[in-house]
Amino acid sequence: MSDIAVRTSELGKRYRDGWALRDCTLEIPAGSVTALVGPNGAGKTTLLHLVIGLSRQTSGTVEVLGLSPRSDAKAVLPRLGFVAQDHPLYRALTIAETFTLGRRLNAQWDEGFARERAGRLGLDLDKKVGKLSGGQQAQVALTMALAKRPDVLVLDEPVASLDPLARREFLNGVLEAVVETGMTVILSSHIVSELERVCDHLITLADSRTQLAGSIREIVAGHRLLTGPRSDAASVARIHDVIRETHTERQTTLLVRANGHVYDSCWEQHEVDLEEIVLAYLGYRPGMRDTSPAREAVPS
Amino acid sequence: MSRVAWRLQRTETAVVAGILALLAVLLIPTGIQMANAYHSDGLNACRALNIGPSCAARIGEFQSRFQALTVLANWFTLVPGLIGVLLAAPFILDLEHGTYRLAWTQGITRRRWLAGKLGILVLTAVVASGALALLMAWWRSPQADLNGRLDTGVYDTAGIVVVGYAVFALGLALALGALWRRSAASLTVAFVGYFAMRIFVDYWLRNRLVSPLQGSWRGLRQPQFLYHAQIMSESGGSGKGGFKSGGPLGGHAQMAVPGNASHTLFHAVYQPASHFWPLQLSETALFTGIAALLIAFAAWWTHERIA
């Protein structure tokens, strides 16, 4: 068993109206809680659907636990837990009936866990799912995925439709399960806040390309915000990777990926938080920096 | 899987059962009444081709007495379509509401899910339409005795074709539902399509599946071969006194005869009573064959194209 839970290589998916995901290569370490962050339309849902075998790729490969989620579905499905966007459930079923559905459709099913978790969340098992609040439905959907006792849990925008309190409760549920089982979690989101509390790895996806992939601790440690008198960033860019540059009349601010080199003393160094790094990367295109508007603002 | 599929189509199964119960409430008392009248009027003694005037009068009285009900029951030919279309709903709603994403990420493959779901739906449609056909066959039996089983209203509400009609409507709704993932539109269009297909088969295709026969005779007494037959067209005489009538469904073997025609040569195109089973079987095969293709398409499209 490799220590990589999910591996994709040049993975692509084309729909009738064009490519939804293209040349996506990434690795998700086993046991990690990985956030997949990107703007709407970046291909996050497409990528996750390919990972769980809901759809089939047009090009490239995807491996989950060393197997193909589509052609080895019989072996992969029992080891995967999935909560789709908007957490679909059969609204006419009660919670208890929903669990029965889970029990009948899964060889491995922890009914005791499901009922205990529902009880802990104050959910009435005889209540129809359609009558629950959005947050409660999300919790039922998460319970369904967790009761499979999966090795890999995939959550597609699980908290996007929830209010802040429900969002916190949902993520706490994920955290508890991770602590308890040590499973791998992949969680997509276009919201960066809150993720740092739950996730230890992060992958950014924009235009179906990954810009940043790695442990959050290393990502945060590896980036610096430099401020200094207004100047050309070219001298810094020769040795450092400049992710974003902004200029005011007197000052230039650079977000750089540190690579061990020391900085010129004219730059003041600051720590930078994850959200700012992610936002900078989502606007960052390698090789495009020279034509960016910020660059043009610099007088020559 | 099959128990889950049962649970998820409970509402639709209950609606179909409700429709059948409603029909039973209407048909069972009137059917008993009709059977009693048939026996008390001694109509079983009138089962012959050229009956006497007293029999003809009694048959006429019996038929006019139950005419309103008979005309109403002719409409029940739409019920198999309704049953089929309704039973497609659990499948289409799954796609429309996105709940298939929950179902397909449990421990079983989507192939098994599709087989279970579609299998139980087809089974329900077959059982429900079979029950309908049996109920109608029992209810119609006095009239079938008098008019033959090829009579409109008996042929297409009380025969094995009813099962073919129901699975065809189901298949059409499933195929459209897989394509569109919109239950209201799919069910409506499938029902209209069912109706159109029925009209096409009734008025055009049926007599091409099993060719009708032709026969000629002289005089007013109807020949034996027209007993319980379905007449497509008939003609007699020539010139001024002649007549010609016809229509795809024709009528029961009772002819409108012009004036004094005791020596006139008559000619008829007809489906004899013996064609009942060849017609039923070929039409059932046609409808179930198309249904099988449509259901296979729905399954394939869902398996390959939906994510």
Q: What is the pLDDT of residues A118-129, one digit of tens each?
A: 999 999 999 999
Neighbours of A222 (CB within 10 A): 17
Q: Which residues contact B278 (CB under 8 A, 6 or more apart)?
A: B210
Residue A74 has its nearest CB partner, among B104, B109, B307, at B109
pLDDT score at B238: 60
Q: Is B52 in the same domain as B10? A: yes
- Model confidence pLDDT, tens digit, residues A66-107: 999 999 999 999 999 999 988 999 999 999 999 999 999 999
| H-helix or E-strand spanning residue A114 | helix A111-120
Is A121 within 8 Å of A177 (Cβ atoms)? no
Check whether B11 has a pLDDT greater than 90. Answer: yes
Q: Is B119 in the same domain as B60? A: yes
A12-21, A238-247, B80-89, range with the lowest pLDDT: A238-247
Interface test with B, best of A52, A70, A89, A90 (most B CBs within 10 A): A90
Q: Is B290 in the same domain as B147? A: yes
Q: Which residues contact A271 (CB under 8 A, 6 or more apart)?
A: A220, A224, A225
pLDDT score at B199: 94
Residue A11, sorted as left (phi over 0), alpha (psi -120 to 50) or beta, turns out to be beta
Q: How confident is the model at residue B221 (pLDDT cuts 50, 70, 90)?
A: confident
Residues 170-189 of B with CB under 8 A from A: none
Amino acid at position A76, single letter: V
Contact across the interface for B101 and A82, Cβ inside 8 Å: yes
pLDDT score at A288: 43
Contact across the interface for A82 and B98, Cβ inside 8 Å: no
Highest averaged pLDDT of the listed ranges A44-58, B120-134, B135-149, B236-250: B120-134
> How many Å lie between the alpha carbon of A266 and the closest alpha carbon of chain B?
54
pLDDT score at B241: 57
pLDDT score at A296: 34
Q: Is B112 on the interface with A (CB under 8 A)?
A: no
CA atoms of A31 and A152, how far apart (whole Å): 9
Q: What is the dihedral of CA A171, A176, A182, A186, to 10 degrees?
A: -10
Nearest residue to A278 (alpha-carbon basis) of A85, A35, A49: A35
CA atoms of B135 and B146, how far apart (whole Å): 18
Q: Give the domain extent around B283.
A: 2-210+275-305
Q: What is the mean pLDDT of chain A?
A: 87
Contact across the interface for B4 and A106, Cβ inside 8 Å: no
Q: How confident is the model at residue A266 (pLDDT cuts 50, 70, 90)?
A: confident
- Model confidence pLDDT, tens digit, residues A20-71: 888 899 999 999 999 999 888 888 999 999 999 999 999 999 999 999 999 9
* Among chain B residues, CA nearest to A147: B106
Residue B99 has its nearest CB partner, among A82, A90, A145, at A90
Check whether B260 has a pLDDT greater than 70. Answer: no
Q: Is A39 on the interface with B (CB under 8 A)?
A: no
Check whether B256 has a pLDDT greater than 60. Answer: no
pLDDT score at B50: 67
Q: Is B99 on the interface with A (CB under 8 A)?
A: yes
Contact across the interface for B98 and A88, Cβ inside 8 Å: yes
Q: Is B89 in the same domain as B225? A: no
Q: Is B3 on the interface with A (CB under 8 A)?
A: yes
Average pLDDT over residues B221-241: 74
Q: Do the bridges between strand B213-218 and strand A223-229 make them parallel or antiparallel, or are there none, so unpaired? A: unpaired
Amino acid at position B49, single letter: L
CA atoms of A179 and A183, how far apart (whole Å): 8
B103 neighbourhood in chain A, CB within 8 Å: 105
Q: Is B265 in the same domain as B291? A: no
pLDDT score at A135: 92
> How many Å lie between the alpha carbon of B152 and the closest alpha carbon of chain A?
41
Is B1 within 8 Å of A105 (Cβ atoms)? yes
Q: Is B269 in the same domain as B237? A: yes
Average pLDDT over residues A185-194: 86
| H-helix or E-strand spanning residue A161 | none
Nearest residue to B96 (alpha-carbon basis) of B178, B22, B162: B178
Measured in degrees and rounded to the nearest 5, phi and psi for residue B284 equal -65, -45
DSSP B48: S
Chains A & B: contacts with CB separation below 8 Å: 66
Q: Angle of helix A111-120 relative to helix A95-105, nearest 10 degrees?
A: 160
Q: Is B107 on the interface with A (CB under 8 A)?
A: yes
Amino acid at position B175, single letter: A
Q: Is A106 on the interface with B (CB under 8 A)?
A: yes
CA atoms of B3 and B175, how far apart (whole Å): 24
Amino acid at position B158, single letter: A
Contact across the interface for B107 and A90, Cβ inside 8 Å: no
Residues 7-46 of B with CB under 8 A from A: 7-8, 11
Residue A54 has its nearest CB partner, among B7, B11, B101, at B101
Q: Is A1 on the interface with B (CB under 8 A)?
A: no
Per DSSP (E only), the strands in chain A are: 4-15, 18-29, 33-37, 59-64, 80-83, 152-155, 184-189, 201-206, 209-215, 223-229, 241-247, 251-257, 268-270
Largest CA distance in chain B: 80
Contact across the interface for B307 and A108, Cβ inside 8 Å: no
CA atoms of B69 and A149, how far apart (whole Å): 60
Q: Is B92 in the same domain as B138? A: yes
> How many Å lie between the alpha carbon of A84 and the closest alpha carbon of chain B?
7
How many folded domains does chain B comprise?
Answer: 2
Q: Is B191 in the same domain as B250? A: no
What's the pTM? Answer: 0.88
A70-74, A235-239, B289-293, range with the lowest pLDDT: A235-239
Q: Is B107 in the same domain as B225? A: no
Nearest residue to A174 (alpha-carbon basis) of A151, A199, A207, A137: A199
Is B205 within 8 Å of B196 (Cβ atoms)? no
Residue B99 has its nearest CB partner, among A73, A88, A109, at A88
CA atoms of A240 and B91, how far apart (whole Å): 57
B8 neighbourhood in chain A, CB within 8 Å: 90
Check whether B52 has a pLDDT greater than 80. Answer: no
Percentage, residues of chain B above pLDDT 70 = 90
Average pLDDT over residues B66-91: 94
> How many Å lie between the alpha carbon of A213 and the closest alpha carbon of chain B?
26
Is A187 within 8 Å of A198 (Cβ atoms)? yes
Average pLDDT over residues B218-235: 79
Q: Is B222 in the same domain as B248? A: yes
Highest averaged pLDDT of the listed ranges B44-48, B207-211, B260-264: B207-211
Q: Is B165 in the same domain as B250? A: no
Is A100 within 8 Å of A140 (Cβ atoms)? no
Q: Is B163 in the same domain as B103? A: yes
